[in-house]
Amino acid sequence: MERKISALPFPASVPVPIPTAMTDREPHGTPRVGVLRVLLVDNDRRAATRSEAGLRTQLGERLVLSQVPSLALAIRSLMAESFDAVVLELDVADASGIATLAGIRGAAPLVPVVVYARALDDTLAFLALRAGAHAAVRHGTAASCVAPGSRTGGGVASCVA
């Protein structure tokens, strides 16, 4: 995609490439309407690939996904960009358990978080919900919990049983 910009010190006919990372945004920097920006935090590359496939099946072209393997990189991403939701595996490279969720909630308290775990029992689900998660699900079901257009978290919250 190229756009011609006339207020530059070179002729307006020179095409200016727009980086692909910015195509999810309007020209003034706000997210495009209908786009759901999701941060997927999981250090298991195969599980992350399966989760991404599930999210893409549910959301199609509306999904803009960023995947990171650690809490530190997730916090850095949340500080640098805005996201509509976080899909979080509790056991990542540099953190585990509810402490992982606490780190995410501390960095972005208004962003809905769907916790997904390989070994999710009722106790862990309850702790995650009490710690601020909008949903707690087993691997493979997170895609159905991230609904389009949920800046307020309404779509994510509908997944909580």
The DSSP bridge partners found for residue 117 are 138
Distances (CA, A) of 130 to 24, 112, 123, 144: 33, 13, 11, 21
The answer as to whether 40 is a domain residue is yes
In tens digits, the chain (161 residues) has pLDDT values of: 444 444 444 444 544 343 444 455 555 455 567 899 999 999 999 999 999 999 999 889 999 999 999 999 999 999 999 999 999 999 999 999 999 999 999 999 999 999 988 888 899 999 999 999 999 998 766 555 654 443 334 333 334 33
* CA distance linking residue 140 with residue 62, whole number of Å: 20
The answer as to whether 125 is a domain residue is yes
The answer as to whether 1 is a domain residue is no
The answer as to whether 22 is a domain residue is no
Domain count, the chain: 1
**Residues of the domain holding 52:** 31-157
Q: Which of 116, 113, 49 has the alpha carbon at shortest distance from 85? A: 113
* CA distance linking residue 102 with residue 95, whole number of Å: 10
CATH code where residue 121 lies = 3.40.50.2300
The answer as to whether 13 is a domain residue is no
